[in-house]
Chain A
Amino acid sequence: MADKRRINGPASGTAIPIFTPSKSGAHTLQRTRKPNQLRKIYLQPGVVPTASGSAYLELESLCHPSSLLNAVPSSLKLSCVIHGPKPLPRNANFSSNLQLTINVKFAPFATRQRRGYIRDVTERDIGTHVETALCGVIVRDRWPKSAIDIIITILEAEDDVQWGSGTQQQNTVGGLGNMNVVSGCITVASAALMDAKIDCLDLITGGVAAVVPKDDGKFVHHLDPSVIEEPFLNSACVVGYMPARDEVTLVWTRGNIPSYSDGQTCRFDSLLDSAVNAAKGAHVILRQVATELAQAESTKLIIDESKT
């Protein structure tokens, strides 16, 4: 009797694909961008009409022309959905501030290492970082006794491991991929907040910068470093930054600040400044998206008015 509940395999059977490790070594890309050049950002608010606010963000894919299928580097793809402000459940304690719930989840297919369906430590950690960044920007006392849920789904993320290299991790600082995710989450959440029309102090954006050693023993700051392009780096920093107030709501740094051969140290401040510059770059885009959104809204209004 045929089992109708499952889809059975072909009767004849197929050969199992066997993957051998690549001999060509690690697939790294030379960074062709200038040190202070960000990857292009695609940002689109209002992608989920049923939510009160939503946005989608993706970074330009760093596709090498000669790269074949196995080494296409992943780029960041995030979607953010906001529900609320909605009243707190009746049995909840009184709260004079808006309650913020942030839920960051990797899609199971987001990284090459498959993710589970239950939120793991990394995801909760990223969530806390994003929450820290956003708490400082939302005017929370405007909504007493209410809550918003911010749900960020990471559809595609950079792997922390450079794929194809036999060795696991060349990066001296781990977690660069996660830093990029945090930065992207902040920016996309900001766009979604804007779409949801929730009062904020500013359009917050995230930015990442890294200290990268050069051949001549000097160090440069790379804005928006991507894992695939930076085989070696000394330290990396992610910030959540509000340009209009010149305020940083989140700083997360990893690695150590190197000292130059001539004794002069590369200071942490300058790394932070670079990260802030990266955030400013993202802010330019966010601001333009905001303008377009406002224009779309106003034309919609005009159309609505002319109808009535």
Chain B
Amino acid sequence: MSKHRIKSVALEDDYADDYYEDDEDQSGYVEEDGMTAEDQERLRVATVQARNTLGQGFTSITDKEIQDALWHYYYDISKSVSYLKNKHTPSQSKQDKTRPAKTGSQLAVHHQAVKEPNIHHLLPSTAKDFFWDSPWLNIPFHRQAEIRIEPVFPRLGLLGGSSTGEGKMSKIAALAAKRRLKEKENEKQRGAATHTSGLPEDTASGLSKLRIATSHTLYPHKEHPLRSRHDLQSASRIDQTQETPPKGDALPPSRQQGKDKRTEDNHQLNGSQSGANVADMRAKPSMFARTLMISCDTALPLSSRPPTLLPEPVISSFDFLKPSPDDIVLKAQNFKGSKTSTSSKQQKPAKAKESITNSMENLSVVEPETIKSKNLDVLAEYKKVERKNAANFVVIGHVDSGKSTLMGRLLFDLKAIDERTMQNYKEEAEKMGRGSFAFAWVLDQGTEERARGVTIDIATHKFQTERTSFTILDAPGHRDFVPNMIGGASQADFAVLVIDASPSAFEAGLRGQTKEHALLVRSMGLAKIVVAVNKMDRTDWSKERFQDIKQQMLAFLTTAGFKSENISFVPCSGLQGDNILTRSRAPQAAWYNGPTLVEELDTPEPVNHALEKPLRMTLDDTFHDSVQNPFSVSGRIEAGSLQVGDQIVVMPSGIKAFIRSIRVDDEPSDWAVAGQNVILSLSITEADFDQINIGNMLCNPAFPVENVSSFTAKVLAFDHLMPMPLDVHKGRLHIPGRISRLAAVLNKVDDSVVKKKPQVVHPGSIARIVVELDEPAPIEAGRIILRANGETVAAGHLE
């Protein structure tokens, strides 16, 4: 390795090579160096003559410029004069002289006139200078061409001021001239955006665009790329005197006498100056930079050629929302398979081929759906089956009251979780230093939930008792996740309120989410509540503590609107499993001889669901199921029934779809009714996938939910209400909106109007308010919850 590095360092400087090249340059250029005394005298005389010919109007032209022109035209005074006149119309010249040019183009012209000669005159002092414009492996055209010794045809010069075309060009020269003109034209167009030249002839400005910055010091490598070509061209002087410069070309002469007459740059790169002399402050890229940008034509303005370090990536990344090639193929195979198997079994082989081609033609990403409906009478089917009661309950309570632990324990005791899994959880939880959360892991499946020991989203789990099949909805207790808790509670038939009985925890809970959750479930219409007084082991099964909590909660819950016969209390310990499935064996707990938690849950209470009403189902989740069922939704049917092949409409987007398959409680089924938790696979096009979201409403297309943008509701205020922005929650759905009007404060008993148009509604009072939604949403009669700034401010129902 080290060997390599040392080597490359040595190569960097390339001493030997450079010296060698140096010698070559010297010999090649020696003839051009210096100027004989004779020449100088001749030049002086000619300058005087030229100035006389030019007359008064052109006093602004410097001697140097005249000499430039003369040198170029080999002392032909008339030609030089006409060139200079062409270039400096009197008014123009003045501006040129006194002020640094306004535009980039003018500026560049000026500089060329002043500086080209010395650039040419200076010998490249190093090999590096000689090769300054020839990047590695990318020798520009103008440098390559000049290696030829004998010009084959009369050279075409870009120089000169003759405005009339004299003499004849060869065909090739004419072609070349044409191409050049075209290039210039392009150049002009490219530069057009910045270009506001006042020059009568724009050719010059077009050409000057080739150059962003002019050199102001004597470094030969700062010269124009095109320039060097002309310099070399003019090495054979005879050619040049004979050639005919193309019409309208205003490039200045490229030769001048040999003295270094470099004038100071007019345009100071003064830090505090700005504007006009920007071009002067900008350097041209060094050879390194040009190599880096892979653009040999660096003189182009930046805007016209975005340089790149790396080539543009050719491969465009795959959009994973689209079906993958595999998906398409599989789909096509399925489609073909089903088609041939159902329709063409008896067909002759000859026709079979045709049918395949037909089906290939029909093939598309969106396959036409034809799902056979069995046209069942779902309600009759439903009544036929003898089934257990089904009930969903939501587990609520303050954060860390032990909800997840209690439910995990319950599931474990009921053998809904097998020993092995539980053992795994225990070991892993131990490893993470959270041994006490092992039971909570049954429901807290998310990595983040497990890492933090906090439930974040609703977790569902099923279990069966002898009489009932339950679905647990384990709600998060943390105040930040109340919206998730609302979503869970909206699917529940009753609630289990878990209370942390340990010292001071109960009191903290009562101020926090114990209170908020209880009020929320009540305002969502849940009537039955089971209060599990948890962590009794922490209080050493103190009967006093239990009674104290029971009394306080009873008072609170009855004021919240629960009927006292629907409230029950169970002291228990989720961690140790007392009074959950089996009675506590702890001697301190002997005083309790009421029902255990499971017994309390299992008190039969058949729930009546609105089976006859039109279909309503709020989407709990949407997901990609499998290749066959690319789009599935889950949720609980709130009202009505459905069966495979039914058409449904999803609000608010109004997308229609057919039901491909139904799974009720993870068992395939042909139908489902209100109260059941289902997974539906829908047949919709991929384009519509992202139009269907969590919280949307699935409806019967005959009776869809209206999208409303404003509604009137009767609410119980938990906080001061005034016209203000808030979030409207309805089950899983939550939409931003605002209270637009407070209509009235109502009497709690008979709903009579107490006060019309109140300024503010005080906590605890009932009011009729008008809510406007930021965007229309499918909301119809039912319970709503209003939250603002992360707190529940009101709950009620639509009127």
- B283 near A292 with CB under 8 A, answer no
- A49 near B13 with CB under 8 A, answer no
Q: B369-388 toward A: CB 8 Å interface, digit per residue (1/0)?
A: 00000000000000000000
Q: Is B611 an interface residue (CB 8 A)?
A: no
Q: Is A56 an interface residue (CB 8 A)?
A: yes
Of the stretches B299-307, B494-502, B635-643, the one at the interface is B299-307
Chain A residue, CB-CB nearest to B12: A109
Q: A58-71 toward B: CB 8 Å interface, digit per residue (1/0)?
A: 11110101111100
Q: Is A193 an interface residue (CB 8 A)?
A: no
Q: Is B333 an interface residue (CB 8 A)?
A: no
Chain A residue, CB-CB nearest to B264: A34
A14-41 contacts to B (CB < 8 Å)? 17, 32-34, 36-41
Q: Is A48 an interface residue (CB 8 A)?
A: yes
Q: How many residues on chain A are close to B (CB under 8 Å)? A: 58
Q: Is B757 an interface residue (CB 8 A)?
A: no
Chain A residue, CB-CB nearest to B221: A63
Q: Which of B125, B271, B275, B284 has the most CB of A within 10 A?
A: B271
In angstroms, Cα B274 to Cα A277, docked, is 11
A77: chain B residues at CB < 8 Å are: 286, 288-289
- B271 near A223 with CB under 8 A, answer yes
B275: chain A residues at CB < 8 Å are: 284
- A292 near B303 with CB under 8 A, answer yes
Q: B741-780 toward A: CB 8 Å interface, digit per residue (1/0)?
A: 0000000000000000000000000000000000000000
Complex partner residue of A47 from B125, B221, B292, CB under 8 angstroms: B292
Q: Is B4 an interface residue (CB 8 A)?
A: yes
A68-107 contacts to B (CB < 8 Å)? 68-69, 72, 75, 77
Tell me whether A48 and B309 are in contact in the complex, defined as CB-CB below 8 angstroms, given that A65-B125, A207-B271 are known contacts.
Answer: yes
A49: chain B residues at CB < 8 Å are: 308-310, 312-313
- B289 near A40 with CB under 8 A, answer no
Q: Is B547 an interface residue (CB 8 A)?
A: no
Chain B residue, CB-CB nearest to A50: B310
- B283 near A60 with CB under 8 A, answer yes
In angstroms, Cα B128 to Cα A299, docked, is 37
- B272 near A36 with CB under 8 A, answer yes
Of the stretches B147-155, B212-220, B414-422, B719-727, the one at the interface is B212-220
A200: chain B residues at CB < 8 Å are: none
- A42 near B10 with CB under 8 A, answer no
Chain B residue, CB-CB nearest to A284: B274
Chain B residue, CB-CB nearest to A43: B282
What distance in Å separates the Cβ of B64 from its nearest Cβ neighbour in chain A? 20
Chain B residue, CB-CB nearest to A291: B194
- A37 near B269 with CB under 8 A, answer yes
Q: A161-196 toward B: CB 8 Å interface, digit per residue (1/0)?
A: 000000000000000000000000000000000000
B221: chain A residues at CB < 8 Å are: 63
What distance in Å separates the Cβ of A94 from its nearest Cβ neighbour in chain B? 12
What distance in Å separates the Cβ of B757 from its nearest Cβ neighbour in chain A? 40
- A58 near B274 with CB under 8 A, answer no
A288: chain B residues at CB < 8 Å are: 278, 282
Tell me whether A69 and B13 are in contact in the complex, defined as CB-CB below 8 angstroms, given that A6-B3, A36-B268 are known contacts.
Answer: yes
Q: Is A257 an interface residue (CB 8 A)?
A: no
Tell me whether A44 and B293 are in contact in the complex, defined as CB-CB below 8 angstroms, given that A65-B125, A69-B18 are known contacts.
Answer: yes
In angstroms, Cα B270 to Cα A224, docked, is 11
B308: chain A residues at CB < 8 Å are: 47, 49
Chain A residue, CB-CB nearest to B218: A65
What distance in Å separates the Cβ of A77 from its nearest Cβ neighbour in chain B? 7
Q: Which of A47, A60, A289, A295 has the most CB of B within 10 A?
A: A60
Chain A residue, CB-CB nearest to B308: A49
A42: chain B residues at CB < 8 Å are: 282-286, 289
Chain B residue, CB-CB nearest to A114: B9
Chain B residue, CB-CB nearest to A273: B272
Q: Is B320 an interface residue (CB 8 A)?
A: no
Complex partner residue of A44 from B18, B271, B285, CB under 8 angstroms: B285
- A285 near B282 with CB under 8 A, answer yes
A41: chain B residues at CB < 8 Å are: 281-283
Chain A residue, CB-CB nearest to B124: A65
Complex partner residue of A295 from B128, B193, B219, B286, CB under 8 angstroms: B193
Q: Is A227 an interface residue (CB 8 A)?
A: no
A280-308 contacts to B (CB < 8 Å)? 280-281, 283-285, 288-289, 292-293, 295-296, 299
- B288 near A38 with CB under 8 A, answer no
- B283 near A44 with CB under 8 A, answer no
Q: Is B126 an interface residue (CB 8 A)?
A: yes
Q: Can you offer 6 A-B residue contacts whose CB atoms are under 8 A?
A: A36-B271, A47-B292, A63-B219, A281-B269, A292-B303, A295-B193
For the complex with contacts A47-B307, A72-B128, A223-B271, 11 further pairs of A-B residues with Cβ separation under 8 Å are A17-B10, A42-B283, A42-B285, A49-B308, A63-B129, A65-B218, A65-B219, A109-B12, A281-B269, A289-B302, A299-B303
Residues of chain A touching chain B, judged by Cβ–Cβ distance below 8 Å, are 6-7, 9, 17, 32-34, 36-44, 46-50, 54, 56, 58-61, 63, 65-69, 72, 75, 77, 109, 155-156, 207, 223-224, 274, 277-281, 283-285, 288-289, 292-293, 295-296, 299
Q: Closest 5 interchain pairs by CB?
A: A40-B283, A281-B271, A277-B271, A296-B303, A42-B283
